[in-house]
Structure formats: C-alpha cells, structure tokens
C-alpha cells in the first residue's frame, strides 16, 4: 500500500486552475500542469482499503489502489500498465470524468477523498511524455472484418479492443474528423484537441482505418454496410436534443447547445473564421443547469457575452451531502465548475413559459417559479401563481438534455428501441444477428467513462460472436440493463 499514514499527513489537493482573467482570454485548458511530487503525495493518501469502494464507483472497475501505490513508489511505467488494463483512454477520463470513484472513496466518509482523477491524468501524461504509450500489434490476424459506426469514446474503445483481438477494423464517421463529442461537443478549455489527436495517432498506427464524411443511412445503407462486414457495431451517440416547446420558440437567436458548441469549437481551432451565432456583447440565457449548459457558459464568456444567466428547473441543490444521500452514493450537490467560477448568474426552480421577441428576433424569456413535487407517477413541477418574470436575452441556448439516438442510421432498416427510445440490445450487446450497439445510443445520454466501458464490453461480445470465445477484458460481462427489460 502507499504510505499507511499518508491520509493523516496530507490533505486533499487538486490541480490549480489558471486565473480567471487569463484563461478567459484564450481557449486553452483551464488547469495548470501538475508537479510530480505533488501527485506522489496525493497518491500516498490512499488507504488501500480491504474493500476498495472506489472500484465499485468506477464503471470501468479501474484498479485505483494499485496505481495509487505505484505512483507513490514513483513507478509510473508500471502504473500506466495497470491503468490501461481497464481503461483505453485515461487522458480523457483524467480530464473530463465527474469521478464517481472519488465520491465512493472510503476516505470520503469522514474526510476528503483521494484525488483519484488527478493521479489518473498524471499517470497518462507521464506515460505519453516518456514514450510509454506505443501502438500495440495483435498477436495474430483473425481475417474477420468489423465496422464501427461512430467515433466517439465508445466507438474508439470498441475499435481499439477489437483490433487488439486481431480483427480488421474500419470506423465510419459522418463528421470530417473522428472523436464524436470529444471533438466538437466538449470545449477546448476542458480538453484541448491535441489530446484526442495524440490517441488517434496510436489507433491509426495499430491499423484502425477511419472513414470520415460518411453517414450510414445516407451515404451507405446499414444493410449494405452489414453485407460488407462480419459484424457491425453502432456507437452513434444520443444526438436528439430535448426541445422547449413553448410560444416563440421559432424566433431567431434561440439555438440548441449542440448547434452552438460545435461551431465554437471550430472557431477555437481556427477551422472557421467567426461564429455566426457568437455571444459577443449579447445578453445570453442558457436554459439547462447541467454540464452541457456549463460548457455553453464557459464558451459565451470567452466570446465576450455582455451578461449570462443559467436557468435550471430543479431546486438549488445542497452544498453538503444530505443524510438522505449518504456515502458512497453519487451526491446531488451544488457544483461549481470552472465555467461557473468565471461568472454568470445561476437561477433555480424556474420554468420557461414563452419566448418574447420583436421583428422575428428573441428579446426576452418569460419564466415562472416552480415547486418540485414527488408523485406516484414521478417528478412534477407546479407553477407558483404570480411568480412570472421576464429575463432579457438576445441569445438563448437550450441545454436541456438529449432524447436518444438519431434515426438516420435506421433509414430503411428500423431497429428495436427501448422505452426511452435508445437502441435495444440483448444481454450480449446484440441488436440483430451480427449487429451490435454500445455507448450513449444504447444507454442514453451518459458519461465518457460509461462510453469507454460500453465500448470495451461490446468488443468482447463481438469477439466472442466471431471467434466462439474471447479473452478480451471487459467491465460489463453481461448486460444487466437488457436483463431488466
């Protein structure tokens, strides 16, 4: 184990964010680089618990106490092997994961949890810096051909695992470049794109082919694709946005977050000269208080918004864990992301009644206060009479979540869906003979760590389908969600 007294000697430390006034002037990552002695000290806080609850907290089953111990001993080369044993892309999760492992860490019962994500990111960065991450060739070629549709984290993880099992893998992507939400959804200030490119270089060198600008269902039908390959894996994400269907929605100046963020990313990357919906000098209202809303917030600040308000229908969460939400469950808490630290007002318990405009352009939102009620049929929001008010806006961004995968891929080949309109698979990740699905398109809008876990799991299922058995490691052996349906 790491230092048995580490958690008594050191308090929890985190990577420092760059000063707000500096980081608002650029699109670079908000965090400063981390000194290695600080990482070693933080890793030493791990108690190597008899029952490491952090394992359960992590959807990938990351071997957290093992690599905390190796980092404490400064054995970074062995640490990256243990990290890669369960996670293909720790440099993504080390930057972007909300770290359910940390909320499950046993130290969190009466102290601050181990800074697991910081250690994870540091191991990955050390490994890249020291040339420890190289292409890995499969032991033998199987002669089997697999197509993966979609190149987000689930598609990339599935592709890498399947290639390592010796299959020939082509990834089809409708965008001009691979990466899914890692490229055009998540802003630069959370993860710079060179981090993605660096990993794609490894995947290409391992023999994975990326076929971009190709939308399955439009440029090629799904049945044609299935005819060309021994197996096809759908990793197409959950891109259907939830709408706010109220009066005035048709006014100009109101956009879905995912109409706005990809263009902002392209401007930051200098792929576009300017943003046609830029927030510069505008009063911006972001509807939706979640992570996508926070990404819009950080983006409009950098574009020079005059003012920003973020609205949320849910009540303001508590600052500390309530007794009803004890360790090791995921706590619903008031979180202050880097974007919130940079400014803007947050308003809770508000619902949008209508958009008000003139000459076809949005000018304001009419909102009403709501009270959340738990009923037998689920959550209900009751309006508080007389609480209507107006919030000025010349740009409105809707970030109210997603409702499952787009249907384009199904053109001419309807697929089974679950009650939440996600693609339904059986317990072996199969939709139909030879057709599999994983990631957000299967489990609904989720997290990168879940996308990687699903990608690894579907790869094992596909390998077993093709070869009769599989030695690929996978976090989810049998899909319990499918069993429940």
* Contact positions vs ligand FAD (CB under 6 A): 96-97, 149-155, 172-175, 180-181, 185-186, 190, 215-217, 235-237, 261, 291-292, 295, 406, 408-409, 439-440, 446-449, 451
Residue 385: CB minimum distance to ligand FAD, A: 35
Q: Is 181 exposed, middle or buried (0-12, 13-18, 19+ CB in 10 A)?
A: buried
Residue 205: CB minimum distance to ligand FAD, A: 21
If the CB atoms of residues 52 and 293 are measured against ligand FAD, the closer one turns out to be: 293
Whole-angstrom distance, CA of residue 113 vs CA of residue 185: 29
175 is written with which tokens? 């965008």
Question: Could you tell me the end-to-end alpha-carbon distance of the chain, in angstroms, rounded to an integer?
Answer: 42
| Residue 305, binding choice from ligand SF4, ligand FAD, none, Cβ under 5 to 8 Å by partner class | none
Q: Rounded to 5 degrees, what are φ and ψ at 233?
A: -115, 120
If the CB atoms of residues 150 and 404 are measured against ligand FAD, the closer one turns out to be: 150
Sequence-separated (6 or more) residues with CB below 8 Å from residue 431 = 234, 415, 416, 423, 424, 425, 437
Residue with tokens 């959370």: 190
State which of residues 107, 146, 158, 181 lies at the interface with ligand SF4 (CB under 6 A): 107
Tell me which residue of 476, 478, 482 sits closest to 60, measured CA to CA: 476
Sequence-separated (6 or more) residues with CB below 8 Å from residue 433 = none
| Residue 52, binding choice from ligand SF4, ligand FAD, none, Cβ under 5 to 8 Å by partner class | ligand SF4
Q: Are strands 350-358 and 345-347 parallel, antiparallel or unpaired?
A: unpaired
Q: Which stretch binds ligand SF4 (CB under 6 A): 44-52, 141-149, 166-174, 227-235?
A: 44-52
| Residue 149, binding choice from ligand SF4, ligand FAD, none, Cβ under 5 to 8 Å by partner class | ligand FAD
| Residue 410, binding choice from ligand SF4, ligand FAD, none, Cβ under 5 to 8 Å by partner class | none
Residue 107: CB minimum distance to ligand SF4, A: 5
Which 47-86 residues touch ligand SF4, going by CB under 6 A?
Answer: 47-49, 52-54, 64-65, 68
What is the full DSSP assignment across 71-88?
HHTT-HHHHHHHHHTT-S
Pair 99, 67: CB distance under 8 Å: no
| Residue 114, binding choice from ligand SF4, ligand FAD, none, Cβ under 5 to 8 Å by partner class | ligand SF4
If the CB atoms of residues 47 and 313 are measured against ligand SF4, the closer one turns out to be: 47
395 is written with which tokens? 């740009």
Residue 254: CB minimum distance to ligand SF4, A: 44
Q: Is 114 in the site for ligand SF4 (CB under 6 A)?
A: yes
Q: Where on the chain is the footprint of ligand SF4 (CB under 6 A)?
A: 46-49, 52-54, 64-65, 68, 105-107, 114, 116
């Amino acid at each position: 184990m790491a230092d048995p007294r580490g958690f008594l000697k050191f308090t929890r430390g985190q990577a420092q964010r760059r000063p707000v006034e500096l980081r608002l002037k650029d699109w670079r990552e908000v965090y400063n680089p981390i000194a290695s002695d600080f990482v070693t000290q933080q890793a030493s806080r791990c108690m190597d618990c008899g029952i490491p609850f952090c394992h359960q907290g992590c959807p990938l089953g990351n071997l957290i106490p093992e690599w905390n111990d190796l980092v404490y001993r400064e054995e970074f080369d062995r640490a990256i092997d243990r990290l890669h044993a369960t996670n293909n892309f720790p440099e993504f999760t080390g930057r972007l994961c909300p770290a359910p492992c940390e909320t499950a860490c046993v130290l969190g019962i009466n102290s601050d949890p181990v800074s697991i994500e910081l250690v994870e990111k540091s191991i990955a960065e050390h490994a890249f810096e020291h040339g420890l991450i190289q292409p890995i060739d499969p032991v033998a070629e199987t002669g089997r051909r697999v197509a993966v549709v979609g190149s987000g984290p689930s598609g990339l993880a599935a592709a890498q695992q399947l290639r390592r099992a010796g299959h020939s893998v082509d990834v089809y992507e409708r965008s001009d470049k691979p990466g899914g939400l890692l490229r055009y959804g998540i802003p630069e200030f959370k993860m710079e794109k060179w981090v993605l490119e660096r990993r794609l270089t490894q995947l290409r060198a391992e023999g994975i082919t990326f076929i971009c600008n190709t939308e399955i269902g439009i440029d090629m039908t799904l049945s044609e694709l299935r005819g060309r390959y021994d197996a096809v894996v759908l990793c197409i994400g959950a891109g259907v946005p939830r709408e706010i269907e109220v009066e005035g929605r048709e006014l100009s100046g109101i956009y879905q977050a995912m109409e706005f963020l990809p263009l902002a990313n392209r401007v930051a990357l200098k792929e576009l000269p300017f943003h046609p919906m830029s927030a510069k000098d505008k009063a911006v209202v972001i509807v939706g208080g979640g992570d996508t809303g926070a990404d819009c917030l950080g983006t409009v600040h950098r574009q020079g918004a005059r003012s920003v308000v973020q609205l949320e229908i849910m009540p303001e969460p508590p600052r500390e864990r309530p007794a009803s939400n004890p360790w090791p469950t995921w706590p619903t808490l008031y979180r202050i992301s880097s974007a919130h630290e940079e400014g803007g007002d947050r308003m809770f318990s508000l619902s949008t009644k209508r958009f008000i405009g003139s000459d076809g352009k949005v000018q304001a939102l009419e909102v009403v206060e709501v009270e959340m009620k738990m009923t037998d049929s689920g959550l209900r929001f009751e309006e508080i009479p007389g609480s209507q008010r107006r919030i000025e806006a010349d740009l409105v961004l809707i970030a109210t979540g997603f409702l499952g995968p787009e249907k384009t891929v199904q053109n001419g080949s309807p697929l089974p869906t679950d009650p939440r309109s996600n693609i339904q698979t059986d317990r072996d990740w199969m939709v139909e003979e030879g057709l599999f699905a994983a990631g957000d398109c299967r489990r609904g809008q989720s997290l990168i760590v879940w996308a990687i876990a699903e990608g690894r799991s579907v790869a094992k299922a596909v390998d077993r389908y093709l070869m009769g058995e599989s030695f690929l490691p996978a976090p989810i052996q049998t899909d319990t969600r499918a069993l429940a349906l």
